[in-house]
Amino acid sequence: MSELGLIQVYTGNGKGKTTASLGLAFRASGHGFKTCMIQFMKENSDYGETKAAQYLPGFKLLQVGRNEFVDLKNPQPIDVELAQSGWKTAQDIILSKKYDIIILDEINVAMACGMIDCQEVADFLSGLKENRTELILTGRYAPQLIIDLAHLVTELQEIKHPFTQGVDARKGIDY
């Protein structure tokens, strides 16, 4: 059996990146693994994963953003500050080796819009020696540097979406 310690990326314009990482955490929980999910640019206690986190053994969820729309072309200083602070928290959690899996949800977006330095993330991840923690990076716009570094990259492509047909986000399905 292979050891943990790979880097996975879920990216693309299709729905399901966060959901895929949560599915992995659900499966891992069944084997007694501990998972920490750090959600960048999110702070909403009404999300289903926030409510469910207490029921999944070994699963911890941290939100390191605010419940406001982030203008990706011109992020507010507070959003940049929260993303960078969240990245520092993520580094500490990764180095703590307390978790088998760490999900960095929406970090790809934070890097792509310059809120977190992509080279800094790549250098940190490259510098991990004998890492046994599986790292999952989600979000649209995964930088090429991160794609090149990853062991697994899945691009989810939107073909059809209810939003384009006027269906609002649905509780328990979309959030």
pLDDT score for 56: 94
pLDDT above 80: residue 57: yes
For CA atoms 59, 140, 68, 125, the dihedral sign is: positive
**Residue 91 reports pLDDT greater than 90:** yes
CA 152, CA 116: separation in Å to the nearest integer?
A: 22
What is the pLDDT, as a whole number, of residue 28?
96
Q: Which of 165, 108, 102 is nearest to 134 (CA)?
A: 102
Cβ–Cβ under 8 Å, residues 103 and 60: no
CA distance from start to end of the chain: 35
Give residue 3's pLDDT band: very low, low, confident or very high (50, 70, 90).
Answer: confident
pLDDT value, residue 26: 96
- Provide the mean pLDDT of the chain: 95
- Token pair, residue 172, equals 């328990």
Q: What is the pLDDT of residues 100-138, one digit of tens each?
A: 999 999 999 999 999 999 999 999 999 998 889 999 999
Left, alpha or beta for 37 (phi > 0: left; psi -120 to 50: alpha)? beta
Judge whether residue 1 has pLDDT over 60.
Answer: no
Quick one: average pLDDT of 25-46? Answer: 96
Mean pLDDT throughout 149-170?
A: 92
